[in-house]
Amino acid sequence: MIRIEHIKKSFGDVQVLKGISHTFEAGKTNLIIGKSGAGKTVMLKILVGLFPPSSGSIFYDDTDFIGLDKKQLRDLRMKVGMLFQGSALFDSMTVEENVRFPLDMFTAQTKKEKDDRVNYCLDRVGLNNANKKYPSEISGGMQKRVGIARSIVLNPTYLFCDEPNSGLDPKTALVIDELIKDITVENNITTVINTHDMNSVMEIGDNIALLHLGELAWSGTKDEVLDSDNDILQDFIFASPFLKRLRNKAMGLK
């Protein structure tokens, strides 16, 4: 579980986050949603420690993330996996080497143990014939899968995904969503996903936080989305005229 309290972040005179408090639960897919410029990416980067917050607290279970020294931070990061929007696979390494990289860097496992773990993770994301290929030789969807495999190879307790569906067709996006959801439940991971994909919201939104102009505008589950009378949420979810028509039809409205 990750708990944030009164997180604020400013860049110069611009306040991007205005005191956000929220809890991301373990074993659930926690979604941060919002329009472009709402502060989602800044929020995610603060959560993983790439940006320091201007003020506020972050707790990884009972550990105060902000107060950690370098060694403690490194130890905690062993428990963190992250899937980047562009996958961030190392171009000079094969698929197998990319997934093996954290094991090589941080474990004293034998070659066989590493091979087994790499093959398990690649198998888990449905990629067992691409070990020797380079990232440039595989599709965007496959790159996302490799990114997921690399992010789970050290058995993380916390998993962060930045726009996991961007650039993917709806069907592949759904497969990636389900994969993240399954891995989260199987391993009781605290997964935080930054997205503005409505399919993701409605499919895997166990715990949703809507950011609007740097503030937490709404939070709840996917089942509560349709019943909510929060205007900002409704405007965001049913942004297109097509979806608005669908909602009105479902509700028997004109």
Partner 1 sequence: MKSNIFYSFGKYLGLLGQAFSKPEKLSMYWKETLRQMDGIGVGSVVIVALIAIFMGAVAALQFAYQLNGQLIPMYYIGYIVRDLAIIESAPTITCLVLAGKVGSNIAAEIGGMRQKEHIDAMEIMGINTASYLILPKTIAGLFVIPFLVTLAAVIAILGGYLATVPTGTLSDVDYIRGLRAYFVEYNVLMMYVKAYVFAFILVTVSCFQGYYVKGGSIELGKASTNAVVFSNILILLADYLIAVILTV
Query: Is 154 in a helix, a strand, or coil?
Result: coil
Q: How far is the CB of 225 from partner 1 (least distance, A)?
A: 30
**Is residue 49 involved in binding partner 1 (CB under 8 A)?**
yes
Which amino acid makes up residue 178?
E
86 binds partner 1 (CB under 8 A): yes
- Give, for 225, the enclosing helix (H) or strand (E): helix 222-225
Q: Classify residue 78 as exposed, middle or buried by CB count within 10 Å of its CB (0-12, 13-18, 19+).
A: middle
Under rule CB under 8 A, residue 50 binds partner 1: yes
What is the C-alpha separation between 200 and 214, in angstroms, rounded?
22
Distance of CA 157 to the CA centre of its chain: 13
Q: What is the CA radius of gyration of the chain?
A: 19
Q: Cβ closer to partner 1: 48 or 202?
A: 48
For residues 176 and 78, the answer to whether their CB atoms sit within 8 Å is no
The nearer residue to partner 1, 78 or 202, going by C-beta atoms, is: 78
Binding to partner 1 by residue 11, rule CB under 8 A? no
**104 is a contact residue toward partner 1 (CB under 8 A):** yes
CB atoms within 10 A of CB 184: 23
Contact between 114 and partner 1 by CB under 8 A: the answer reads no
Binding pattern to partner 1, positions 149-188, x when CB under 8 A? -----------x----------------------------
- Positions touching partner 1 (CB under 8 A) are 48-50, 73-75, 77-78, 80, 82, 84-86, 88, 90-91, 101-102, 104-106, 160
